Structure 1
Amino acid sequence: MLTLIGRPLPQRPIMMLRYTLPPLLTFLVLFVACVQPEAGTLPPDTPDVDLSDTAEDASEPKDTSAPEDVSDDDAEAIPDVQDTPPPEPWPCDPELDLNDRRYRHLHGLSDAQIQRGLLNMVSGHRALYYSTARQHLMNDIEPHDDGSIECAYTGRITEPDGSTTPDGFNTEHVWPQSRGADQEPPRSDIHHLFAVDGGVNSARSNHPYGTTSCSGNSCPWHENGSERGPSTDGRDPVFEVRPEFRGNVARAMFYFALRYQMPIEDREEAVLRQWHCEDPPDDYERNRNDLIQMLQSNRNPFIDRPDFVDNFDSFD
């Protein structure tokens, strides 16, 4: 009987090998089995070698890592999106649907976290040449379903003609170029550009927005609800936008302040917040937001979620 390190070598494997292997291989196997290994190669308590095991019987190593945690655990520091309640109704328009999936990752976060999240979303947009931006503004963005273009400040109607100045209209920078919108990319950012009558653009000039203390004919300039004149808060002069469009202007200003991290003066901001609440987003403004996204690859979040304005104590 053969032995391996002082133990009887099991007979069955050898017999199997004698009958299944060619003679030369059988001789080699028996020769190797008879050669005693050097001392220390195998520890004294090494178990008997089972030569009956084959490669086919070998099993895959077991995964001893911890199983993936797929449980819905609210104990984590960051709330699960599916567990966060929907946004509270916006007081200015309680019926407005605020469940926009684009912003679900911001549910349940602090004001500071929401502000950083929104800044990340609006930053790095695809900037356009100014001439290209105006061309798209007048011919693709501003036209209503019936093809008409409406002056933002007076409601005057004209038709696009393929140019950037149809019927005396031109491009209004809601955030004046003299206040920081004279360089790229803010100069050509369509989110704060609007089509207006050329004369009205001059009347607004770079005056801040506000509530005038004059009314109608007593104002130095007025047309169809928009006025320029002294303000009720001591600023002189200010430009008051007609009720139908003042919310659009406010949200464009909030977007610009967020996107380019530029401050809005406190008294002007107070008026803009009031306008934002008085004139909520409508379908035209939301569709405009969609079209601009197709060109610039970013959106004005205050149109999608007007309640986000309340997450900013101020835009200064």
Structure 2
Amino acid sequence: MKNIYLLVFTILFSQVSLGQVVINELDSDTPSTDTQEFIELKSDTPNFSLDGLVLVLFNGSTSGGDSSYFILDLDGYTTDINGIFLIGGPEVSPVPDFLLFENTIQNGADAAAIYLGNDVDFPEGTIATTTNLLDALIHDTDDADDTGLMALLGLMEQINEDENNNKTTESIQRKDDGTYEVKTPTPGALNDGSGVQFNGILITTSLDQFDEGDSIDIIFTTEMNVTSDLIFDITITNESFTTSDYSGSTTVTIPAGMNTVTNTIQIIDDSDDEGDEVMKITFGSIPSGFKRLNDNKELRIVDNDFTVAPWGTPLNPTFGNVTSTAPVDYYSSLEGLADAALVQAIQDIVADPTTVRTHSYADIVEILSNADQSPENSNQVWLLYTEQNRAKLDFAGFTNTGETWNREHTYPRSLGEFGDWREFDDIADGMSGFLTTNADSLRHANSDAHGLRATDSNENSSRGNQHYGEYTGPTGNQSSWKGDVARGIFFLVTRYEDLQVVNGFPDDTDNTISELGDLATLLDWHRNDPPDDFEMNRNNIIYNWQFNRNPFIDQPDLAEYIWGNNVGQTWSNTLSINENERLDFSVYPNPASDYITLLAKGKRGDVEIFDALGNRLIKQPFNDTTIIDLNLSAGLYLMRIYHDDMSVMKRIIIK
């Protein structure tokens, strides 16, 4: 329903000498994901140049303060033969003249306005004004009238897109008399159905995903039969998907009297591990009288040449196959220290401002794609919490598919008060682009790969900012991630001055920011899920980027000297687990059933097996190669091997 206010305002339309440009149609909420939202401009004369004009969107919310949030300089653009210029989201059909990211246009109460000027005249946060204003529309979806915004723009009405209770299937449309109505959207066409009618061309395929070696039938269909041969070109290359990856013609001909044709593209099955790729079908120049109903159609090409790592996933862990790449003396400064001095010495290593680097939050996507790469398939990442593989291409910022992965802050960003540093964090500039950092640079925890993991996007949201112990993972998870998370938290609270891990669950309402619980839970997780090959490989990859390592992966006993059973005792590397000794022990088969073999290479000592709760179930001596009989139910167990005052922990699975 329109609400009329007795405000007086006069716009000097004479400022535009060749024709008037107005906001002809606006759809801010179609569908609920806002992939089909659009703004349509209309000029009085056809093929009208929009040079010298700028479109500005204003935020009418309390936080927005009636100020600009999106600005589009219209220089270089021209309306079509019907005087239409379409600006819209990725799923608007026909294809907009200017593409918006999904969910760009806010629902209201907000405004769209056309001004004489350029984008530099309206930096983000500019208050709405009538200066050089040509046309404006204040819109909402059942929101209260923003009388302040109306006054700023000199308007007497605010239009409700939901006045018919169909906001996701209707739009606000201008009538010839300058008033508005709400009805079924007509993007790219005159609202009354008049004008030149274009013949739309649509791209379709039977599937959205194909394998190397497949043939792909690309179908091109026009809305009406063509009166003469319609010939146009397409491209299908995209980033790493090049002309060497396919064969077939990219020139399309729809014969006269017909409205469809099929072009077949053969995907080449090579032997290169290129990773999964995206083929993008894009129209070239389209003859006059035709419009693209869709474009840039993306098809996933799955590479069958993926590699498998010689180590296991966290669900099927292996030990001793991946060695630490830490320099020999990396931890030598810890020798003979205890308590606060030991913690400080660790921080001096992992936060050394002369060595350690920080990368952008955007770079984290590439880092996690490598560090969390699935041992089972090099084209996938291994997801924390849900304990599953997912295609690297399904990162939430790269695709619209339902099942995506995202960057999970194991120490919740809201609790740590990590802040985005936009000038730096939004740019992925690779390993060569970095900043120096130190123990006080808490903002850099936002993009510290030791504290970030690839996770299912929905589970990332479900976890929120819960403390560990409150959060124990999705139903049915097998706890393969818990030790990894604990060691990531131990690293962060040692690396950054203002982060803390505490017992219990701090109440955020008591201003206990930068405190994360529960320490006792994390210590148990650390003990019961020791570092495996997957975690060591991850540590090595992050070290290549950040020039620091997680010491609780390399030297897991350190946690006991800082928070656990050895607090107050002096640390000595010679008494910790030596990596060379660790490699001298192996167990097989793993998973096991009736027995497991310990290969000790001439050593002797004792071996113990514990359940996940820490209960000792088996203890026996070993001497060189020893067979250990198992009479245990299926599940996850820990094996502790004692030899010459040292101990090695291995995780075994009984099936």
Shared fold, TM over 0.5: yes
Give the number of the structure whose residues are more often strand, by fraction.
2
Q: Which runs of 5+ in 2 are unaligned?
A: 1-318, 420-442, 505-517, 568-655
The residue aligned with 2:348 is 120
Any conservation in 2 of the 1:170–1:197 contact (CA below 8 Å)? yes
Q: TM-score, normalised on structure 1?
A: 0.57
The residue aligned with 2:474 is 222
Q: Does 1:198 align with 2:469?
A: no
Q: Does 1:171 align with 2:407?
A: yes
The residue aligned with 1:156 is 388
The residue aligned with 2:74 is none
Q: Deviation digits for residues 29-49 of structure 1, max 9, x if unmatched? A: xxxxxxxxxxxxxxxxxxxxx
Q: Does 1:243 align with 2:479?
A: yes
| Mean Cα deviation higher: 191-200 or 156-165 | 156-165
- Using the TM superposition, give the Cα deviation of residue 197 of structure 1 relative to its aligned residue in structure 2, in angstroms: 0.6
Whichever residue aligns with residue 197 of structure 1, its letter is D
Any conservation in 1 of the 2:358–2:448 contact (CA below 8 Å)? yes
Partner of 2:392, secondary structure, is: coil
Q: Deviation digits for residues 61-95 of structure 1, max 9, x if unmatched? A: xxxxxxxxxxxxxxxxxxxxxxxxxxxxxxxxxx9
Of 306, 310, 314 in structure 1, the residue corresponding to residue 556 of structure 2 is 306
Q: Does 1:102 align with 2:330?
A: yes
Q: Distance in 2 between matches of 1:260 and 1:121?
A: 12
| Mean Cα deviation higher: 160-169 or 171-180 | 160-169
Q: Distance in 2 between matches of 1:127 and 1:164?
A: 23
Any conservation in 2 of the 1:170–1:196 contact (CA below 8 Å)? yes
**What are the equivalent positions in structure 2 for 1:21-100 lying under 5 Å apart?**
none
Partner of 1:161, secondary structure, is: helix
Whichever residue aligns with residue 112 of structure 1, its letter is A
Q: Distance in 2 between matches of 1:246 and 1:197?
A: 16
- Using the TM superposition, give the Cα deviation of residue 154 of structure 1 relative to its aligned residue in structure 2, in angstroms: 0.8
> What is the RMSD of the two structures over their aligned residues, measured on CA atoms?
2.8
Q: Deviation digits for residues 143-163 of structure 1, max 9, x if unmatched? A: 133313121001121121285
- Using the TM superposition, give the Cα deviation of residue 101 of structure 1 relative to its aligned residue in structure 2, in angstroms: 4.3
Q: Identify if the C-alpha distance between structure 1 residues 205 and 157 changes in structure 2 by more than 3 Å, giving closer, same or farther.
A: same
Q: Identify if the C-alpha distance between structure 1 residues 201 and 247 changes in structure 2 by more than 3 Å, giving closer, same or farther.
A: same
Whichever residue aligns with residue 223 of structure 1, its letter is T
Q: Greater relative contact order (Cα 8 A, min sep 6): structure 1 or 2?
A: 1
- Using the TM superposition, give the Cα deviation of residue 243 of structure 1 relative to its aligned residue in structure 2, in angstroms: 1.4
Q: Distance in 1 between matches of 2:491 and 2:451?
A: 8
Q: Identify if the C-alpha distance between structure 1 residues 103 and 212 changes in structure 2 by more than 3 Å, giving closer, same or farther.
A: closer
Q: TM-score, normalised on structure 2?
A: 0.28
The residue aligned with 2:495 is 259
Partner of 2:468, secondary structure, is: coil
- Using the TM superposition, give the Cα deviation of residue 104 of structure 1 relative to its aligned residue in structure 2, in angstroms: 2.9
Q: Which one has the largest radius of gyration?
A: 1
Partner of 1:102, secondary structure, is: coil
The residue aligned with 1:131 is 362
Give the number of the structure whose residues are more often helix, by fraction.
1
The residue aligned with 1:208 is 467
Any conservation in 1 of the 2:535–2:553 contact (CA below 8 Å)? yes
- Using the TM superposition, give the Cα deviation of residue 266 of structure 1 relative to its aligned residue in structure 2, in angstroms: 1.1
Number of equivalent positions: 197
Partner of 1:196, secondary structure, is: strand
Whichever residue aligns with residue 259 of structure 1, its letter is R
Q: Deviation digits for residues 249-269 of structure 1, max 9, x if unmatched? A: 000011111111211121200
Of 371, 380, 388 in structure 2, the residue corresponding to residue 141 of structure 1 is 371
Any conservation in 1 of the 2:482–2:526 contact (CA below 8 Å)? yes
**Structure 1 vs Structure 2: percent identity of aligned residues?**
31
Q: Deviation digits for residues 206-230 of structure 1, max 9, x if unmatched? A: 10000679xxxxxxx83332xxxxx
Any conservation in 2 of the 1:247–1:276 contact (CA below 8 Å)? yes
Q: Distance in 1 between matches of 2:546 and 2:406?
A: 21
Whichever residue aligns with residue 159 of structure 1, its letter is A
Any conservation in 2 of the 1:135–1:163 contact (CA below 8 Å)? no
Q: Identify if the C-alpha distance between structure 1 residues 188 and 104 changes in structure 2 by more than 3 Å, giving closer, same or farther.
A: same
Q: Identify if the C-alpha distance between structure 1 residues 115 and 203 changes in structure 2 by more than 3 Å, giving closer, same or farther.
A: same
Q: Which runs of 5+ in 1 are unaligned?
A: 1-94, 214-220, 226-241
Q: Distance in 2 between matches of 1:293 and 1:162?
A: 25
- Using the TM superposition, give the Cα deviation of residue 110 of structure 1 relative to its aligned residue in structure 2, in angstroms: 2.6
The residue aligned with 2:526 is 276
The residue aligned with 1:56 is none
